[in-house]
Structures are given as C-alpha cells and as structure tokens.
A and B are shown apart, each in its own frame.
Chain A
Amino acid sequence: MSEYTYINPKFEKEINEFSKKTLVPELTLNYDIKVRDFVNTGNASADIKLTLKRLGVSSPVLRRVAISSYEAEINITAHSKGGNIICNVYPEFVHIQFKDKGPGLKDIEQAMIPGWSTADDAVREMGFGAGLGLPNIKKNSDYLHIVSAENSPTLVEILIFYIEK
C-alpha cells in the first residue's frame, strides 16, 4: 500500500486537528459513480458546488471545490471499476472522499507528475487523460490524501477551507 499526503502549510494546524477529532458534519451528500459513464459524470461535483453556493461559500472557493471534485470524479469514471463520493460539509471547510473499487495506483508519486497518464485513446479523445488531474486537485485543495495499491481500491480525500489565507 502506498500513501500520498499534501497539506497547505497555511492550514497545517487546522488539518492536524481535523485528523485527530471526530467531528459531526452539518450535512452529508452521497453519490454513486458508474464505470465509464461519460454522459452523467460531473453531476456529483456540480451538485456539491451548488449546495455550497447556497450555503454562501465565495466564488473563488466554489471554483476550487468544483475543479478538484470534478477531476476526482472523472478519475473514478475513466480509470476505476466504479465508486462513490461522500461529501461532508462543516462550518469552516468541506471534506470530500472519493472511493473506488480498484484497480488501484501502482505508484502514486508517478501519478502526481504532470503529464503522466494511463488513459486509453477513447478517454483521450474526449479531452481527458492529459495527466493533469491529480496535480490540478493538489493545486486547488488545502489537503490532499491518497491511499492506494495495485489491484486495490483507491481513496482520494480533500479538504478545502471557505476562507482563503
């Protein structure tokens, strides 16, 4: 099993506290993501963005949430045997978990390199597979945690704070 963690240094204290405590979210949203459903993929991320918009989250933060979530949702659609998204909304941040049923990442560090991709031709023809998904998620999130292994499920989780430091 391999693991990758990125923490925005500006939120180090808050993120460490989050990992220690068991907080009760104000709201939880659940979505099933089907294999290779390129028509409906993106619905979950659009719904998460809309929900946070209604709660008064600012536009620049909504954009970061939408981009991170959409890239991760596309990854489940394009690369996995299906999975689900669990979005937990807290008063100061949103925590989104993307869980799939495998086949898993052989080397997470390699997947973090911009331009590296295992996408097939069909996926590339649709405009995906540029190898920028995970780097894009990292760029737009305050916390990124990936746990995976070959022939295993992958967990990608992100945290984004509503106030930018």
Chain B
Amino acid sequence: MKLSDVITALEAELLVTGVSLEIDVPCAFGSDLISDILMCTKESTLLLTGITNHQIIRLSDMIDLTAIVFVRGKKPSEDIIKMAQDREMPLLTTKFTMYQSSGILYNLGLRSCKI
C-alpha cells in the first residue's frame, strides 16, 4: 500500500507539504501510549494515534515511522506541524476514529506491524 492509498481510504487531509505520496506503507500500529509505540515498532510503521503533542513527532527521531495519522479529526498546532515538516514526516488527519481507521486499512490488506 502507498501513502496515497492511505489518504484515499481514510479521506485524510495531508498536513505537511513536499512529501512523496508514493512511499510504501508496509504495516501499521495504533496507540495513544508512547511507551507502547516505542516497544512495538521495530520496522517502518504507519502510526495511528490521538496524541497531538510535540513528543509524537519526537518519536520519529527514535523509531522508524512511515507517517503519522491523527484520528477522530485531531490536528496538532502549527509549531508541531513545523516540527514534522522539518523532518519531512508525513502527517495526516482523518475524521474516522481509531477503530474505524484501523478497520478500513486492515480490510484493504495493511498488516499489523510485527510486535
């Protein structure tokens, strides 16, 4: 699955500019707990989350995230979007809940990351 497929499926809005939508999305993980995210992502992973603070972007300095999807219409503040822009980290926001988003992507064949 490509990032563009994720955007279409989740009817998502892309919050950063200049990132490739053709990048491959091999797997996904969803959580609102930083420690869980750290522990469970061992490969390049699409992250679904409701956390919108600075530390969710900081996570991408520690682990390999393909992109971050904010669920249930959440949108981080401008300075946080800039942090992602500086890192060329794709940020998406979708109106769907964590459960709906996960189900949509899972049904399209996007596998869970290996934990």
Given A42-B61, A46-B61, A130-B34, 4 further pairs, Cβ under 8 A: A49-B62, A67-B39, A127-B56, A130-B35
* With known contacts A38-B54, A41-B55, A70-B38, A127–B61 Cβ distance under 8 A: no
Q: Which residues of A contact B54 (CB under 8 A)?
A: 38-39
The answer to whether B38 and A136 touch across the interface, beta carbons within 8 angstroms, is: yes
Q: B62 touches which one: A38, A39, A46, A127 (CB < 8 A)?
A: A46
* With known contacts A126-B55, A127-B51, A49–B61 Cβ distance under 8 A: yes
CB of A1 to closest CB in B, whole Å: 27
Q: A71 touches which one: B32, B33, B38, B58 (CB < 8 A)?
A: B38
Q: A42 touches which one: B42, B49, B62, B64 (CB < 8 A)?
A: B62
Contact size range, B: 10 to 19
Between-chain CB contacts (< 8 Å), 17 pairs: A39-B54, A41-B55, A42-B62, A45-B62, A49-B61, A49-B62, A63-B62, A66-B62, A67-B39, A71-B38, A126-B34, A127-B49, A127-B51, A128-B35, A130-B36, A132-B36, A133-B35
Residues of B within 8 A of A (CB): 32-36, 38-39, 42, 49, 51, 53-56, 58, 61-64
Chain A residue at minimal CB-CB distance from B79:
A39
Interface flag for A159 (CB, 8 Å): no
The answer to whether B55 and A67 touch across the interface, beta carbons within 8 angstroms, is: no
Instruction: Tell me the A71-128 residues at the B interface (CB within 8 Å).
Output: 71, 74, 126-128
The answer to whether A67 and B61 touch across the interface, beta carbons within 8 angstroms, is: no
Q: Which residues of B contact A127 (CB under 8 A)?
A: 32-34, 49, 51, 53, 55-56
Q: Which residues of B contact A126 (CB under 8 A)?
A: 34, 51, 53, 55
Interface of B is mostly: helix
Give bound CA distance, A67 to B35, whole Å: 9
Interface flag for A139 (CB, 8 Å): yes
Give bound CA distance, A127 to B57, whole Å: 12
Q: Which residues of B contact A70 (CB under 8 A)?
A: 38, 58, 62
Q: Which residues of B contact A39 (CB under 8 A)?
A: 54
Chain A residue at minimal CB-CB distance from B80:
A39
The answer to whether B61 and A128 touch across the interface, beta carbons within 8 angstroms, is: no
